[in-house]
Structures are given as C-alpha cells and as structure tokens.
Amino acid sequence: MGFQEELTNELYSAVKTILTDLFSNKERYYYITLATDGGAHTPCISAWSYEALYRCGAEVQEKIKWSYADSPYCCWRQERFEKVEKLLSSRKNIWDLDAEDFETECRLRFEAMEMAMNRLDQEGIFGINQKRSDVVVLVEVMPPDYTNTIRAYRMNSTDSEIFSEWIEEIAEPPEGSI
C-alpha cells in the first residue's frame, strides 16, 4: 500500500469516528470542513450546526457563520488524528523540501483528504441529521486561498442552496479571476 492510500484510509477512519460522535448530538449541520495549514499537516474537523450558530447570538452570527476556528466544534476529538499525525511525521519535513517536491507532497496530502471525505460522502455520513444538499462539505487550507473553492466545487452540488451561500459569502475566487 502506498503512502497516499494509507493516508486516505487513516483520514477516513479518523473522520468517520469523529463525525459519528459529533452527529450524535442530533443538531442540523450546514458546514463541515477538514482544515489544515499551508503545509498540509495534520488536519482538524470543524463544523457548524444551525443550533450552535443560534447559541452564539444574533450579533456575531454573520461574522462567524463560516469560521472553522470560531466553531464550538473546531478540533472536535482531535486525538482521533493520532495515526494520521504519526504517518505524516514519518515523512521528510515538508518545509525542508524544494519547491517542486513541496508542491507534490502538498498535492498528495490534499488529494488524500479529499478522497477520504468523498468516500464518507458516498457512504452517506453527511446526510445524518440533515439532507446532504443542506451541508457544505470542504477540505480547506487556512488561511484560505482559491484552492478551497476549487475543491469545494468538486465536493458539493452547485444546485445546493447552502453551497451557493458559501460561494457568495466566503469563497476565495479562483486565481486569475480577480
């Protein structure tokens, strides 16, 4: 088994366990992301439900609606990524790679994250507590850049009302479209 397949499997397992736990609260989610930094290090799950957003109060809802970091579910059960972290740390330090190898390694890691989330999507996990079309599912780099938008289009239906909201309110435009 190659590194990317192993990483995809570990991500899949961790995210499935985390989301199964998170969704047991029966809240209705509209945003679920697997977020990481620019070096594609160990990601975290973050999510927003309508119930959690309402608990924050009307005065801040617009500011935090799409903020992975402000969610009460940011880094939910982060310890579940222990095997992912060990697998990633077994690789050469990404910051020591030359530009070409860095890009290759990041692409491989982001592809693994997206494949894991797509596999979970195919199994229907994002349809627990809400219809799948009512939740935006993402793999994001933070701080955000246009690659988040590119991945978002691959992972979500353009017919989804909530996805249209995300595109309008927060998506980074693709490079060269400004």
Closest CA to 163 of 126, 121, 134, 129: 134
d(CA 138, CA 21): 19
**Nearest 5°: phi and psi at 25?**
-80, -5
Strand 44-49 versus strand 136-141 pairing type: unpaired
pLDDT tens profile 136-166: 999 999 999 999 999 999 999 999 999 999 9
pLDDT tens profile 74-131: 999 999 999 999 999 999 999 999 999 999 999 999 999 999 999 999 999 999 999 9
* pLDDT higher than threshold 90 for residue 72: yes
* pLDDT higher than threshold 60 for residue 176: no
pTM: 0.94
Q: Across the beta sheet with 44-49, what order do the strands follow?
A: 44-49, 29-36, 136-141
Q: Where do the domains of the chain lie?
A: 3-169
* pLDDT higher than threshold 50 for residue 70: yes
Task: Please state the rounded mean pLDDT for residues 3-29.
Answer: 98
Token pair listed for 59: 């005065």
Residue 178 confidence (pLDDT): 45
